[in-house]
């Protein structure tokens, strides 16, 4: 708040026709119909809270001030908004209810002598774009209006404020559903709750608005009547794109708008050269980037700050969150979170990449492999049934099926390194911390606890003993004993004799 007056001087000195002097975002309502402990405006679609969509649209107008009006769970809402944008202003609404009071409180957070167009939007109208806000402001300024309402003609106007026009078609009032006559209820042009007001008019008109209505609230919409009575000009900007005016009141609308937003996001990527085989089952958050000629197969979710390169194949059934996939990589039936997948690398099916997995170019993470804090070098392969946590795997190394990096001793995590072009045999346990040098081998089935030097082969397992005659002695009369006898009669007795013939401990 301390630097508000400086910012204001700056803002006022560069008046710009398409730029509002301020935007007020209403987000104080309780959102009772969500039936949620989470404030309505913090419910997400497309990877962002509803109010974040409103803040982004508001910010993209270039307005020098953006104020968010809060009340219900104000600390939670403020904390979230501030984490996105530390320059936001916050206004606390008091015990007087209604959108009019909310805007009055919003104005109080703005410089007292603010002049010019003030945009008012809602924290729960997530599909409204910054371009629309800029366009409405431009129209407002160019037409010299005192108030510009964004309206829409909808087939089912129930619940919305209706736009009342006179015989000349001029807007005279907005009537709320609960206060409307039958005749007014039949009007299909609705108030979207998005407006541009002349700042001075808004301030003075709100002072004259009362709470004398069906809900006992101070309605912002009554400003229209007050302005008309004073001979001020009110125009409506009818928006054809109805979704941009839709608000979220319950979880059904949250899902509907989430799907529409997703459809729009998918279309944007398809127009930019991405093949999306089935947009209906592909979910892409708004900030995700995807390169040309990448194909997204059904059942895929690309979330958060994920970025996918060009010429990749992602899916089916892949969930990537905050993950980077470089060009021409392929990822199938996998989950990755905070991971990096290198150029031409392959992942899946059934792989789980946890935070800080970095897979090098042309590397492979295969079926039933889980990785975490794992740096897997260029061309290195972890193809089957492995847990690879807290490990560095050198370029071109191969980790055999069923290898487990035992990184946790019950108290601390430890790190292991497998050198370049080294080879870990199947079913090995790498008991961290251990270092296998470049160009070394680990025999299958090893439980490795010591370092291995370049060129060495490490064997860390019990030596095999074969006990002659064990089956005959311990399992007489079984089919196994019969098979052993039949085989021995054809091939003769075993060539290899075990050194220990007792065999009583070999159960
Ligand atoms: C409002 C409009 C209605 C319009 C509709 C569009 C009024 C009186 N009515 O009705 O004409 O068709 O939006 O969606 O304005 N809010 C506050 N403080 C409050 C009350 C609400 O900040 O005391 C905020 C809410 O958090 C929400 C927005 O204002 O973001 C709209 O409030 P809501 O209660 O949903 O208004 P509606 O009854 O839908
Ligand atoms: Ca509403």
pLDDT band at 16 (very low <50, low <70, confident <90, very high): low
Indicate if 100 and 234 belong to the same structural domain: yes
Closest CA to 189 of 205, 214, 170, 215: 170
Average pLDDT over residues 103-115: 97
**Statement: residue 498 has pLDDT above 90:** no
Query: What pLDDT is recorded for position 36?
Result: 97
Question: Hey, which of 24, 29, 163, 176 would you mutate to test ligand 1's pocket, going by the most ligand atoms within 8 Å of its Cβ?
Answer: 29
Indicate if 431 and 333 belong to the same structural domain: yes
Indicate if 201 and 84 belong to the same structural domain: yes
Query: What pLDDT is recorded for position 18?
Result: 75
**How many angstroms does the Cα of residue 474 sit away from the middle of ligand 1?**
83
pLDDT band at 491 (very low <50, low <70, confident <90, very high): confident
- Ligand 1 atom index nearest CA of 26: 22
Query: What pLDDT is recorded for position 17?
Result: 64
Q: By the 8 A CB rule, do 299 and 280 touch?
A: no
Q: Which of 1-5, 22-26, 282-286, 459-463 has the lowest mean pLDDT?
A: 1-5
Average pLDDT over residues 333-349: 98
- Give the residue carrying structure tokens 């899916």: 315
**Statement: residue 460 has pLDDT above 90:** yes
Average pLDDT over residues 99-122: 97
Number of structural domains the chain divides into: 3
Indicate if 91 and 26 belong to the same structural domain: yes
Length reported for the chain: 507
Look up 384 and say whether it is catalytic. yes
| β-strand partners of 457 | 441
Q: Domain of 498?
A: 470-506
If you write DSSP's letter for every residue of 329-387 in order, what string do you get? -EE-SEEEESEEE-TT-EE-SSEEE-TTEEEPTT-EEEETEEEEEEEE-TT-EEEES-E
Indicate if 235 and 347 belong to the same structural domain: no
Position 282 in a domain: yes
Position 181 in a domain: yes
Position 258 in a domain: no
pLDDT band at 15 (very low <50, low <70, confident <90, very high): low
pTM of the model: 0.90
Cα atoms found within 13 Å of the Cα of residue 499, Cβ hemisphere only: 3
Closest CA to 91 of 24, 150, 43, 151: 24
Query: What pLDDT is recorded for position 360?
Result: 98
Position 253 in a domain: no
Indicate if 181 and 328 belong to the same structural domain: no
Query: What pLDDT is recorded for position 497?
Result: 44
- Ligand 1 atom index nearest CA of 28: 22
Judge if the upstream peptide bond of residue 117 is cis by omega within 30 degrees of 0.
no
**How many angstroms does the Cα of residue 348 sit away from the middle of ligand 2?**
44
- Using one digit for the tens of pLDDT, what is the confidence trace for 59-69? 999 999 999 99
Ligand sitting nearest the alpha carbon of 163: 1
Ligand sitting nearest the alpha carbon of 67: 1
Average pLDDT over residues 95-118: 97
Question: Hey, which of 38, 99, 120, 247 would you mutate to test ligand 1's pocket, going by the most ligand atoms within 8 Å of its Cβ?
Answer: 99
Q: What is the mean pLDDT of the chain?
A: 94
Q: Which of 384, 414, 415, 421 is catalytic?
A: 384
Query: What pLDDT is recorded for position 502?
Result: 42
**Statement: residue 7 has pLDDT above 50:** no
Indicate if 167 and 302 belong to the same structural domain: no
Indicate if 184 and 221 belong to the same structural domain: yes
The Cβ of residue 377 has, within 10 Å, a number of other Cβ atoms equal to 22
- Using one digit for the tens of pLDDT, what is the confidence trace for 225-270? 999 999 999 999 999 999 999 999 999 999 999 999 999 999 999 9
Ligand 1 site residues (CB inside 6 A) read 26-29, 69, 93, 97-99, 101-102, 122-124, 160-161, 174, 176, 190-193, 219-221, 247
Indicate if 333 and 381 belong to the same structural domain: yes
Average pLDDT over residues 291-305: 98
Indicate if 347 and 486 belong to the same structural domain: no
CATH number, domain at 362?
A: 2.160.10.10
Q: Is 273 left (phi over 0), alpha (psi -120 to 50) or beta?
A: left
- Using one digit for the tens of pLDDT, what is the confidence trace for 153-164? 999 999 999 999
pLDDT band at 1 (very low <50, low <70, confident <90, very high): very low
**Statement: residue 474 has pLDDT above 70:** yes
Ligand sitting nearest the alpha carbon of 70: 1
Q: What is the dihedral of CA 103, 107, 109, 113, to 10 degrees?
A: 180
Indicate if 278 and 189 belong to the same structural domain: no
- Using one digit for the tens of pLDDT, what is the confidence trace for 385-433? 999 999 999 999 999 999 999 999 999 999 999 999 999 999 999 999 9
Position 256 in a domain: no
Indicate if 86 and 218 belong to the same structural domain: yes
């Amino acid at each position: 708040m301390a630097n508000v007056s400086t910012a204001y001087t700056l803002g006022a000195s560069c008046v710009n026709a398409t730029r509002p002097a301020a935007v007020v975002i209403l987000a104080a309502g309780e959102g009772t119909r969500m039936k949620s402990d989470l404030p309505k405006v913090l419910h997400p679609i497309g990877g962002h809270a509803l109010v974040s969509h409103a803040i982004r649209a508001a910010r993209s107008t270039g307005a020098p001030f953006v104020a968010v009006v809060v009340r219900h769970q104000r600390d939670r809402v403020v904390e979230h908004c501030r984490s996105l944008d530390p320059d936001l202003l916050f206004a606390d609404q008091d015990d007087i209810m209604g959108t009019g009071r909310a805007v009055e409180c919003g104005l109080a957070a703005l410089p007292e002598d603010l002049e010019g167009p003030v945009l008012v939007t809602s924290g729960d109208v997530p599909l409204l774009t910054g371009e629309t806000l800029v366009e409405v402001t431009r129209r407002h300024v160019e037409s010299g209006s005192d108030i510009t309402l964004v309206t829409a003609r909808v087939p089912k106007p129930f619940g919305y404020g209706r736009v009342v026009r006179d015989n000349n078609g001029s807007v005279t009032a907005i009537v709320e559903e609960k206060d409307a006559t039958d005749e007014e209820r039949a009007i299909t042009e609705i108030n979207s709750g998005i407006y541009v007001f002349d700042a001075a008019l808004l301030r003075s008109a709100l002072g004259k608005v009362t709470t004398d209505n069906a809900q006992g609230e101070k309605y912002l919409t009554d400003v229209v009547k007050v302005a008309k009575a004073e001979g001020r000009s009110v125009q409506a900007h009818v928006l054809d794109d109805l979704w941009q005016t839709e608000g979220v009141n319950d979880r059904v609308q949250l899902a509907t708008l989430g799907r529409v937003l997703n459809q729009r996001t998918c279309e944007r990527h398809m127009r930019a050269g991405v093949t999306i085989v089935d947009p209906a089952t592909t979910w892409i958050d708004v900030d995700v980037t995807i390169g040309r000629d990448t194909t997204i197969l059904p059942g895929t979710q690309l979330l958060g700050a994920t970025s996918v390169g060009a010429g990749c194949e992602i899916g089916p059934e892949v969930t990537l969150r905050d993950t980077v996939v470089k060009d021409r990589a392929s990822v199938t039936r996998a989950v990755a979170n905070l991971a990096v997948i290198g150029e031409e690398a392959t992942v899946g099916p059934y792989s789980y990449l946890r935070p800080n997995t970095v897979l090098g170019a042309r590397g492979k993470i295969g079926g039933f492999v889980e990785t975490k804090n794992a740096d897997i070098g260029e061309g290195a392969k972890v193809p089957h049934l492995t847990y690879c946590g807290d490990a560095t795997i050198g370029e071109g190394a191969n980790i055999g099926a069923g290898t487990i990096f035992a990184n946790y001793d019950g108290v601390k995590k430890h790190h292991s390194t497998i050198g370049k072009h080294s080879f870990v045999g199947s079913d090995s346990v790498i008991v961290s911390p251990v270092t296998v040098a470049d160009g070394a081998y680990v025999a299958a089935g090893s439980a490795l606890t010591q370092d291995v030097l370049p060129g060495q082969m490490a064997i860390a397992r019990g030596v095999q003993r074969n006990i002659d005659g064990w089956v005959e002695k311990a399992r007489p009369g079984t089919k196994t004993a019969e098979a052993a006898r039949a085989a021995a009669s054809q091939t003769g007795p075993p060539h290899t004799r075990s050194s220990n013939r007792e065999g009583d401990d070999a159960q």
